[in-house]
Amino acid sequence: MEIQLDKLTKQYGSRTAVDGVSIILKPGVYGLLGANGAGKTTLMRMICGVLAPSSGQIRADGKTIDRLGEKYYDRLGYMPQHFGFYPDFTAREFLLYMAAVKGIDKKRAGERADELLNTVNLTKMAGKKIRTFSGGMKQRLGIAQAELNDPELLILDEPTAGLDPKERVRFRNLISDLARNKTVILSTHIVSDVSYIADTILLMKNGRFILTGSVDEVTGSINGMVWETVTDEQTAKGIMNRFPVVNLHHESGLVRLRIVSANKPHADAVPVNAGLEDLFLYHFGEEGKEENT
């Protein structure tokens, strides 16, 4: 399914959350990256039909989603950032309930629930109540419900938030496996999540896409602006006061710094290849520093 966003805008009073976004999304994995407040969740809610745009249109294969109605939603899977579970349902009961809400017939619902519980590695937990689940298990159950109708468009809002590193790796692998022949939009402020699995990066700031392209393409925009140097602690403190530092590592009484700067930050600094974390810091600076930990 091809999704076209045409000058999509959402305003809340005098504040513009999404500002005239236009793009065509074809099958593949899109990493929607930005600091908190960039407009990511608002954009995704409009694509899902949860929010109505203030202006602009969303089309699926050339037809507006308003015109398509249920035909569009039958092809859509959505995992919101804060997903509401019924804690006294078992995992299988929950999936059967969500299948009924989505209008999937009873026989197919049972088959699909069992298939997806196996896919997300929850078969052994199928009869356990959700209130006993860890955060990672709930996230996996959340993506299972989004996949019940085998959607062509899968939208995931902060799916790895709060997960430990092992669960995040498992979840990224799961998303990559499910993404075949689908259009997947993965929204996050966790840079490493999108760097591994996204075909296309959509870097969003102040409600607009400021960069779009592959990881190499978007990071190429700051080539020559990323540096590393090893120096003493006093000099390191001075550099940190004057330049954005992506990473700091103490090594045998010295300090290795990774710095983002258009100008050479220190006499001994050497240029290095830019990565997504460098790009994030370059565009968001102090705004994105806390979210990027």
Domains of the chain in start order, with CATH, are: 3-75+151-216 (3.40.50.300), 224-272 (no CATH)
d(CA 205, CA 211): 9
The model's pLDDT over 259-268, given as tens digits with 9 standing for 90+, comes to: 999 999 999 9
Residue 196's pLDDT is: 85
Residue bearing the bigger pLDDT, 196 or 75 = 75
Average pLDDT over residues 155-183: 84
Residue whose C-alpha is closest to residue 212's, from 224, 222, 203:
203
- The runs of H, that is alpha helices, within 104-183 are 106-119, 135-146, 165-178
Residue bearing the bigger pLDDT, 136 or 207 = 207
Residue 172's pLDDT is: 85
* 39, 18 Cβ separation under 8 angstroms: yes
The model's pLDDT over 222-244, given as tens digits with 9 standing for 90+, comes to: 999 999 999 999 999 999 999 99
What one-character DSSP code corresponds to residue 3?
E
Average pLDDT over residues 127-135: 94
* 24, 185 Cβ separation under 8 angstroms: no
- Residue for token pair 């088959």: 111
Confidence of residue 142 (pLDDT cuts 50, 70, 90): very high
The mean predicted confidence, pLDDT, of the chain is: 91
Residue 124's H or E segment, with its range, is: none
Residue whose C-alpha is closest to residue 28's, from 199, 187, 211, 204:
199
Residue 264's pLDDT is: 94
Confidence of residue 289 (pLDDT cuts 50, 70, 90): very low
Residue 291's pLDDT is: 33
- The runs of H, that is alpha helices, within 83-134 are 91-101, 106-119
Q: Residue 265 carries which side chain, given as an amino acid letter? A: P
* 154, 182 Cβ separation under 8 angstroms: yes
- Determine the distance from the C-alpha atom of residue 282 to the mean position of all C-alpha atoms in its chain, rounded to a whole number: 19
Residue bearing the bigger pLDDT, 217 or 191 = 217
d(CA 252, CA 274): 26
What tokens does 67 get? 């015109």
Q: What percent of the chain has pLDDT over 70?
A: 97
Residue 286's pLDDT is: 55
Average pLDDT over residues 65-78: 94
Q: Residue 229 carries which side chain, given as an amino acid letter? A: T
The model's pLDDT over 73-119, given as tens digits with 9 standing for 90+, comes to: 999 999 988 778 899 999 999 999 999 999 999 999 999 999 999 99
Residue bearing the bigger pLDDT, 197 or 63 = 63
d(CA 91, CA 113): 9
The model's pLDDT over 12-37, given as tens digits with 9 standing for 90+, comes to: 999 999 999 999 999 999 999 998 88
d(CA 47, CA 40): 11
pTM of the model: 0.88
d(CA 79, CA 56): 24
